[in-house]
Amino acid sequence: MRRNHSTTPRTPRVLAALLLLAAAGAFTLGAAPAAEAAPTPLNRVVPAPASVTPGGTPYRITRATAVRVDASAEVRGIGAYLAGLLRPATGYPLPVTDRGTGGIRLHLASGDFGAEGYRLQSGARGVTLTARTPAGLFHGVQTLRQLLPAAVEKRTVQRTTWQIAGGTVQDRPRYAYRGAMLDVSRHFFTVAQVERYIDQLALYKVNELHLHLSDDQGWRIAVDSWPRLASYGGSTQVGGGRGGFYTKDDYREIVRYAASRYLEVVPEIDMPGHTNAALASYAQLTCDGVAPPLYTGTQVGFSSLCVPKQVTYDFVDDVVRELAALTPGRYLHIGGDEAHSTSHTDYVSFMDRVQPVVARYGKTVIGWHQLTGAHPARGALAQYWGLDGTNAAEKAQVAQAARNGTGLILSPADRIYLDMKYTSGTRLGTKWAGLVEVRRSYDWNPGAYLAGAPASAIRGVEAPLWSETLTRSADIEYMAFPRLAGAAELGWSPAATHGWNAYRVRLAAQGPRWDALGIHYYRSPQVPWPAR
């Protein structure tokens, strides 16, 4: 007791002295070496920029830096988004203003930028992003972000210097369609989970979010004229969990959020197969009038809408009308894959009747490539998901359709199906298309991929993520990263920049960024990740 009494007053003083010393040490350590760290080279970005001219003094973001925008609400919005990204880690105020000079400038101008390109110029006095469109500025912001240290992604103040290498980046995409698909049917993902993924996609300049909204295991979008689709058809998922669905307001929120990140939402209602959830909800949609039970397994190819019945087309009309009305984007995906329990004749007649419905509600059809076995509508796009070295007849059919004017979106399953396991040891995912390590996923050329398809038919690349085995955001991330970055680069970067040896170095630099963002990713041994 007494002893304690005599020693306690001294302890805090000693502790305080030690803390002061530690703080001083941290201050010196924090300030000095970071100031000498070289800025990230202008080409160490994913996707690789079209052209880079390094040179000159870097720009250093300081407490005095402002984000200077054109006097336009949309440009100001992108400026606010950028400032919001940079403020937490820099601790700087970064006001967004349409006055002054220097700093980080976002500027719209006419020029040879295309619909999504931009120019980034960096020098001692500032960084200027110029584009013809807000989308171009937004993509330029993602480049700027990657040129700053990975610590910029942290949400607390970091002690370092924030430099952007001097020089010019001139950039624009190879393809207009750069997509990612999320299967929200096999397992349901909340609006917040979808928005988290959207933010991750935006970092890599992905501009299309394809949502697989219906399948055998769950119907995920409210349809007022057929309410049981969501309330009953959405009530479970693979493994028998509670499932879920998006109300119309939820869906509008996803569309709004995606648009704020310059992504277009492509909704998919998969038909005529993959429809058990709909058939279970409405017995009249089946040919025998008997509703099947809800399905929580992972088989495919056992369900079909009843092609001869008129009510099928009343249903399709209602669903397409309501979904088209909710969707500002250009496309409506009608699925059409694995219709193994629909006869070929029925499949063709179904697609002949359904495609005009999509057109009537003002949307362009996208279908899985089996659509090329029917009569793809004028302007329709087919999404190719075949594999190397298999099914030559089917490949020939897709190539023939491409020669006849059907545009193609490439999603080869043995390359960019993000649900394929990386190795036999990958806990999540499936392997029906093989094991797909990071290099295999990246190392192919979309422009020359499908023999006989003219290069002009290739509209872009999409990386689908099927969710039979995925239940959490961490699962989505582990399968998507790092392969999604490679798919995004195949969609954006000119073929001339393609090369695994340089790519793996650029990819490795993303690791610390993903760590800072809390993205759970696969540390592939093929990539020289910096030590953690």
Q: Give catalytic residue positions.
A: 338
Beta carbon of residue 336, minimum distance to ligand TNX (angstroms, whole number): 8
Shortest CB 340 distance to ligand TNX, Å: 11
What minimum distance in Å lies between the beta carbon of 114 and ligand TNX?
31
CB of 31 to ligand TNX, least distance (A): 51
Residue 510 in tokens: 């993303």
Cα of first residue to Cα of last residue in the chain, in angstroms, is 47
From the list 219, 227, 366, 361, the residue with the least C-alpha distance to 294 is: 219
- Distance CA(57)–CA(149), nearest Å, equals 17
390: its two tokens? 């298999």
Find the radius of gyration of the CA atoms of the chain: 26
- Partner residues linked to 271 by β-bridges: 335
Q: How far apart are CA 422 and CA 455, in angstroms?
A: 29
CB of 298 to ligand TNX, least distance (A): 8
Q: Which is nearer to ligand TNX, 118 or 368 (CB)?
A: 368
CB 387 → ligand TNX: shortest distance, Å? 11
The closest of 254, 242, 275 to 210, measured between CA atoms, is 254
Q: Least distance in Å: CB of 385 to ligand TNX?
A: 5
Q: 138 or 466, CB closer to ligand TNX?
A: 466
> Cβ closer to ligand TNX: 214 or 364?
214
In the bound state with ligand TNX, the residue whose beta carbon lies nearer, of 246 and 417, is 417
Nearer to ligand TNX, 139 or 421 (CB): 421
Q: Name the burial class of residue 92, with classes exposed (0-12), middle (13-18) and buried (19+) by CB atoms within 10 angstroms of its CB.
A: middle
Q: Which tokens in the block code for residue 154?
A: 């942290």
Bin 274: left if φ > 0, else alpha if -120 < ψ < 50, else beta. Answer: left
Taking the complex as a whole, the smallest distance from the CB of residue 270 to ligand TNX amounts, in Å, to: 8
The 3 state secondary structure assigned to 367-410 is EEHHHHHCCCCCCCEEEECCCCCCCHHHHHHHHHHHHCCCEEEE
Task: Tell the smallest beta-carbon distance from residue 354 to ligand TNX (Å).
Answer: 17
Look at strands 126-131 and 118-123 and give their pairing: antiparallel
Q: How far is the CB of 429 from ligand TNX (least distance, A)?
A: 8
Q: Which is nearer to ligand TNX, 159 or 340 (CB)?
A: 340
- Nearer to ligand TNX by C-beta: 257 or 466? 466
Binding residues (CB under 6 A) for ligand TNX: these are 300, 337-338, 368, 385, 417, 419, 430, 466, 468
C-alpha closest to that of 88 among 157, 160, 159 = 157
HEC sequence for 464-499: EECCCCCCCHHHHHHHHCCHHHHHHHHHHCCHHHCC
Torsions phi, psi for 162 (to 5 deg): -115, 85
- The 3-state DSSP composition of the chain as helix, strand, coil percent (nearest 5) reads 40, 15, 40
With a CB cutoff of 8 Å and minimum separation 6, the contacts of 59 are: 122, 123, 124, 125, 126, 127, 163, 164, 166
Cβ distance to ligand TNX smaller for residue 188 or 368: 368
Nearer to ligand TNX, 429 or 482 (CB): 429
CA distance to 184, 227, 367, per residue, from 335 (Å): 14, 21, 5
Phi, psi of 359 (to 5 degrees): -65, -40
Give me the amino acid identity at 396.
A
Contacts of 396 by beta carbon, 8 Å cutoff, 6+ apart: 452
Q: Helix, strand or coil for residue 312?
A: helix
Q: What element of type H or E holds 55?
A: none
User: Which amino acid, 501?
Assistant: N
Amino acid at 106: L
Nearest to 55 by CA among 208, 168, 170, 205: 168
Q: Which is nearer to ligand TNX, 70 or 468 (CB)?
A: 468
